[in-house]
Each structure stands twice: as structure tokens, then as C-alpha cells.
Amino acid sequence: MSSTTTLTPREKQARRYATTLALIATLGPFFYGFEGMVLNAAIKAVGSTFELGPILQGVAGAAGVIGGLIGALAAGRISDKIGRKTTLMWVGPFLLFEALLGPISPLLGSLGYPFLLLTRIIGGIGFGAATTVAPGYVAEIAPADIRGRLIGFRQLAIILGLFFAGLINTAVVSITGGAAKPAFGGLMTWQVLFACLIIPALLFVVFTAKIPESPRYLVSVGRTKEAEEILAKLSGEEDPADRVKAIAQSLTITGGAKLSIGQILSSQWRGLVFVGMAIAAFQQLTGINGVFFYSNSLFAAVGFTESMALAQTLLITAFKIVGVLSGIMLVDRVGRKRMLIYGGTLIFVSLGIVATVFTIAPTVDGKPDVADSPVLAFLAVAALCTFLLGFTSSWGPIFHRHGRDVPQLDPRRRHVARLGRRLPRQLPGRPPLPLPHRLVAGRHLLDLLRVRCPRGHLHGEVPHRDQRRRA
């Protein structure tokens, strides 16, 4: 449908309904961002509370990501079996487990640290499953002409989670004086911050119970009447029987059989799957999770106090929001491939500047110290902000949109490609500052885009699913 087409009131209502469902589905990614910023503020205090060394402190930070890997691996198959909505509903108790029990882990004495790891892993399973299933759910309920925009809500939800958690962190720390300081009721400040996870967890539990099941799943299990009722609300059509038939037809392209991972990797789509895995891996090898979880440590390295670092973290979160919004507005005009090249170049240059700053900085107590050099400190913070602008406008959201543009006969191919994104995250204790070897990854990133990626698949020439069905 073109942008000049006048929508009927029924169609406008259908788009508002689809947008509302997309916002609810992305509450899981919102929790992921919220939890990441809470961890950002609390990680040092957790280390001091449990008397942890750098390695064990890093493990505490990586535990949630390990759970996220487990959740991402399992969520695809589970959602194919029991449905997208049911899978998202089961995610809620996992998120609540971390939110409710994580803050009380110090009360268990010597078992407190292992129990905290357990809560983080279980919570990670929840947000790993949620961030995997949510884009698929949104793609299956969204009208074709706004599908890309609604899928982009996932990345925006993560950034908003970071932003709102940052506001809470700043307010609480300014009152108590630090994340390792006592708060109230015998709790440390970091425990109060962890308890704030209850807010997004409860929102997720309450609202996911109200969303309908994906029409595609309903058709796949023979519940066509329910699928027609939901599609009528989502499309604005009084009789969506043709849409149901099109979905049923697409489900029988492979003869009703789903391909195993081995069959996918030996099929004609193997090249596309490997390209998808490589793009996903490079998305993480840029070091974005190190920035998400350790930005306060970076600001401390350039001379900011804890409260100042939290304020600076809010500043870079604002850059992330600007990046995501600009990416959503530009990607359909500029094209996927060009956005990835431009964003990858900005990421490469920004990390090069940060790595250079900390390489030439004077060493104090065996660590680079730029606190006494305003120029180096400014360059480090400015380069970090441009890195985030480049990532959030290109590599952050476009990977998920591109995964929905490529023709799919079996959703499992998307889950195989996502392994490339999850595996590079498993680096517990990795330093927060970008290292020179990441620049090598940036160079390979540009080579991949120029040589390996099929032009049409990354440049936005692949039609929407609905257009392919009509063809």
C-alpha cells in the first residue's frame, strides 16, 4: 500500500491495534535493556559485596548472557510447538524469578554468589527467549506496509529500557551516595536497583496475557476460525479468508516438513544462512555488550565519579535513541546494505580512536589513565558516542529487519542465523575498553559487506511476504 493511499477508519484502527501488540511484545527486549543498565550501575558493588576478583565479577556480568543463549536456542522450537503467545507468557515467571530473588542473594551468606548467578541465568533464559520470539511475533501480526517499522521497535525498546533504568539508577544513587552504600531496610543500594526489575517484569506478565496468538501459528495447527478473527482486527478486512489461505499455502511449500539444522546447512540456502550468521556475529564482535554493561567503568577510567558516570551514561543512551530513530527513518530510503556499510565504517573509525587514546595514554598502576588529559578524555567519550550512533542506526536494528526480508520457508533458519549473534557474547570478564583486535573484525566486516552479501537481500529489493504471495 503506498503512502498516498487513504486509509479507512477500520484500517487505521487495525494499524493502531497492531502497533499496540508490537509494543507489548517488545516488553521483553525492554526488560533486557533495563536489566543491562541496572547491572551497569551495580556490577562493582556486587563485586565488593561478595568480595569478588575481576574474573568472578565478570562471570556475574556474563551469567545473564549465558542464560540468554540457552533461551534463544530453545525459544524457536518451543514457540513452533506451543505458539508465540504461550511462549512469551512462560517467559514472565523467569523474569520475575530474577527480579524477586536476585536482591536477596546476600542473605544466603556463602551461597549468595552462586544463587545470584542462578537468578541471572534464569532471568537470562527469559529475556533470551523474549528477544528471540518477539520479532517473529511482530512480523506475523504486522501489516506489510508497517512491518519493518514495528520490527524496529525491538531495538528501540532495548534503548528505552536502558534509558529509564539509567534515570532510576541516577536518582537512587544520588540519594544513597553510591551503589555499594546502605539504602533502607537493611538493603544495599545495588539490591534496591535489582528490585526495580520487578516493574518491567510485572508489566510483561500482565500485558502478554492479553495479546492474541499469532495468526500464522493458529493456521499451522488448524485453528483457522480464530486466525480469521484475529486477521480481521489486524488487517481491517471484513473477510480475511484469502489471507488465511495464503498463510496455509506458505506453510505447505516444504511439503509440511520442517528442515533440520543439518538439512538447512546442506541445502541451497546454506550460503545465505552463513552470511546471516556472519553478520550476526560481527554485530556482537563490535563490542556493543561491553559498552552496554561497562560504560560506567569506562567513564570512571576517564576521571568521572560514580554519580557523574551515571549522568554520562544517560547522555550516551540519548545518542542510542537518536541512532535507532534515525535508522528506522532512513533504512527504507537508503537501503540495508548501504546503511550497514556506513554504520560499519563509523563503528570502525570510532573504535580506532578509542583504542588509540588508551594506547597512547600514560600508564598509572599498570592501567591507562586519561583522567589528567582533557583532550584524550574528550576524544574517548566523543568516539564512544559516535560508535553508539553508528551501531544503533545500522547494525543494531537492521539485522532483525533483514532477517524478515529474506524469503523464509522454515522459521528455524532464522534461529540458526541468530546463533552467530549469541555465541560471541560469551566472553565473561572481557575488558570494557575496545581492543585493537576488534578493529580487525571491523575490517572483515567491511570485506563481508562488499564481497559476500547478496546485493538484493541487503539493499531492500526483496518484496514483502504479502507481495510475494500475490505474485
Distance CA 239, CA 233 (A): 10
pLDDT tens across 215-270, in order? 888 888 888 888 888 888 888 777 777 888 888 877 776 545 566 667 777 777 77
Question: Which comes out higher in pLDDT, residue 333 or 111?
Answer: 111
Q: What is the predicted pLDDT for the residue at 207?
A: 94
Q: Which residue has the cell 565504517?
A: 345
pLDDT tens across 86-121, in order? 999 999 999 999 999 999 999 898 899 999 999 999
Which pLDDT band holds residue 30 (cuts at 50, 70, 90)? Answer: very high
What residues contact 244, with CB distance under 8 A and at least 6 apart? 215, 219, 224, 227, 228, 231
Whether residue 162 has pLDDT greater than 70? yes
Distance CA 411, CA 457 (A): 17
Q: What is the predicted pLDDT for the residue at 170?
A: 83
Q: What is the predicted pLDDT for the residue at 307?
A: 59
| SS (HEC) of 165-226 | HHHHHHHHHHHHCCCCCECCCCCEHHHHHHHCCHHHHHHHHHHHCCCCCCHHHHHHCCCHHH
Most confident of 39-48, 145-154, 245-254: 39-48
Whether residue 419 has pLDDT greater than 50? no
Whether residue 360 has pLDDT greater than 60? yes
Distance CA 412, CA 273 (A): 11
Distance CA 360, CA 328 (A): 37
Amino acid at 114: P
84 to 12, 96, 214, 220, 456: CA distances (angstroms): 25, 19, 6, 12, 29
Cβ–Cβ < 8 Å for 459, 351: no
Which pLDDT band holds residue 292 (cuts at 50, 70, 90)? Answer: low
Q: What is the predicted pLDDT for the residue at 463?
A: 44
Least confident of 195-204, 350-359, 370-379, 393-402: 393-402
* Region 430-443 average pLDDT: 36
Cβ–Cβ < 8 Å for 263, 418: no
Cβ–Cβ < 8 Å for 331, 148: yes
Cβ–Cβ < 8 Å for 453, 278: no
Q: What is the predicted pLDDT for the residue at 286?
A: 72
Sign of CA dihedral 125, 130, 136, 137: positive
248 to 215, 217, 223, 252, 413: CA distances (angstroms): 10, 10, 11, 7, 19
Radius of gyration of the chain (CA): 23
Tell me, yes or no, if the pTM score tops 0.85: no
Q: What is the largest CA-CA distance in the chain?
A: 72
Identify the bridge partners of residue 182 per DSSP, sorted by sequence position: 188
* Region 398-416 average pLDDT: 49
Q: Which residues in 112-141 are b (16+ Cβ under 10 Å) and which e?
A: bbebbbbbbbbbbbbbbbbbbbbbbbbbbb
Identify the bridge partners of residue 363 per DSSP, sorted by sequence position: 368
Amino acid at 162: L
**How many CB atoms lie under 10 A from the CB of residue 412?**
18
Q: In 269-403, where do the E strands start and end?
A: 363-364, 367-368
Whether residue 79 has pLDDT greater than 80? yes
Whether residue 410 has pLDDT greater than 60? no
Distance CA 276, CA 448 (A): 11
DSSP state of 464: P
Question: Which comes out higher in pLDDT, residue 17 or 429?
Answer: 17
Whether residue 290 has pLDDT greater than 80? no
* Region 156-184 average pLDDT: 85
Distance CA 319, CA 298 (A): 17
pLDDT tens across 171-193, in order? 888 888 888 888 877 888 999 99
User: In this structure, what C-alpha cell is assigned to residue 128?
Assistant: 533470551
Question: Which comes out higher in pLDDT, residue 130 or 416?
Answer: 130
Burial (CB < 10 A; 0-12, 13-18, 19+), residue 313, is buried
pLDDT tens across 313-331, in order? 667 778 888 888 887 777 6
Whether residue 342 has pLDDT greater than 60? yes
